[in-house]
Amino acid sequence: LEGQFKKFSAQVAFDPAKLATSKIAFTVDTGSATLGSRETDAELPKPAWFNVPKFPQAQFVSSSIKALGGGKFEVAGALTIKGNSQNVVVPVTLTQNGTTTTATGALPIKRLAFKIGENEWADTSMVADDVQVKFKLA
């Protein structure tokens, strides 16, 4: 399945010449999650999944950014979903098209580390534990 979050905000202070002082933060409205089906979309806000009433937002806050060359970077930081934080390293590729800079990447996470899909949904034969969080920000 592929889904998306329709509401999010990003705070980016990024200068490739000053990575030590660069910061990136994302906030995602978990209630804006959609898998494109009324049935699944009705389940996502419930306590077993995102528990939107208790945890209306997920966040990523960078702690360091490392240049890898060729427009590629590693952004380390804390990802917090449902009150559970994990340190992650996000691979990011920057491309330039005229005056627009686009950041893209994909972060593999384990959904059960964030308690997404609890109780009977913790069975990974029904819903995989491995999730790819893809992003594109222009």
Convert the pLDDT of each residue in 87-122 to its tens digit.
Answer: 999 999 999 999 999 999 999 999 999 999 999 999
Centroid of chain to Cα 61: 10
- Positions in the chain short of pLDDT 50: none
Q: Supply the pLDDT for residue 56.
A: 98
The residues with which 31 forms a beta bridge, in sequence order, are none
pTM: 0.92
Q: Supply the pLDDT for residue 107.
A: 95
Q: What is the mean pLDDT of the chain?
A: 95
Q: Supply the pLDDT for residue 1.
A: 81
Please give the single-letter amino acid code of residue 27: T
> Is the Cα dihedral 121, 126, 129, 133 positive or negative?
negative
